[in-house]
Amino acid sequence: MKTLVIATKNQGKFLEFKKMLQPAKFSIISLHEFPDIDIKETGSTFDENALIKATTVCQKIGLPTLADDSGLQVDILNGEPGVFTARYAGEHATDKENIEKLLKNLSGVPLDKRQAQFVCSLALVFPDGKTFLEQGTLEGLIALSPKGTGGFGYDPVFLVPEINKTFAELSANEKNNISHRAKAVEKIKKHLFKHMQEEEVENRRIE
């Protein structure tokens, strides 16, 4: 069976991807299988970092690789945290520490001035060099305080105005129906399924 590598060690993110990529006729693994791989995210945009991750892993492992670089952009903070979303409060900051820094920086800002976007850039790289890049976004607001216990990252403070709930208050299925990551995955799926199938056919010919 063909194998796709999701270039992340974040278990929450990996499980989201695995669920959104169903029904997949190939196995899906994460970087937990390859603990020695270290990726330096040196890009200045989400697209650049996604490509760096996917290309690095694909070249080292020799398997089709899907990588994302996702982040939060807050308008009134001039796009922060941006590409530093995961390490906003420091290189090894926890989700709680990142959220605390964000809320501190937004102290005194009313809810209607807390416009933000979740952005997901997805890069898909195959061993033969074929490369695809897609992006999904979701508009929302930064809540005045954390709400909900689900999800990960900034989910407890990312408020979806249309339903007046944070990501952390949604079930996994509800989140996966509307999230920035889900939108990007839907776009990348057509490339992924098409080329995974082509590789399988080619391998059968060789055998």
Instruction: Please give the Cα distance from 48 to 55 (Å, whole number).
Output: 11
Which pair of structure tokens corresponds to residue 139? Answer: 């508009």
CB atoms within 10 A of CB 47: 17
Look at the pTM and tell me if it is higher than 0.85: yes
What total of structural domains would you count in the chain?
1
Range of the domain at 144: 3-206
Plot region of 79 (φ>0 → left; ψ -120 to 50 → alpha; else → beta)? left
Which residues does the annotation mark as catalytic? 69
Strands (DSSP E) found in 75-130: 115-125
Residues 6+ apart with CB under 8 A from 39: 7, 52, 53, 56, 57
- Provide the pLDDT for residue 201: 47
Q: What secondary structure letter does DSSP report for 90?
A: -
181-202 pLDDT, tens digit per residue, is: 999 999 999 899 888 877 654 5
Using only C-alpha atoms, the chain has a radius of gyration, in whole angstroms, of 18
The residue type found at 49 is: N
**CA angle, corner 182, sides to 98 and 57, nearest 5?**
75
Question: How high is the mean pLDDT in each 10-residue block of the chain (207 residues)?
Answer: 90 90 91 90 94 97 96 98 95 96 98 98 96 98 97 96 96 91 94 80 49
CATH number of the domain that residue 62 is part of: 3.90.950.10
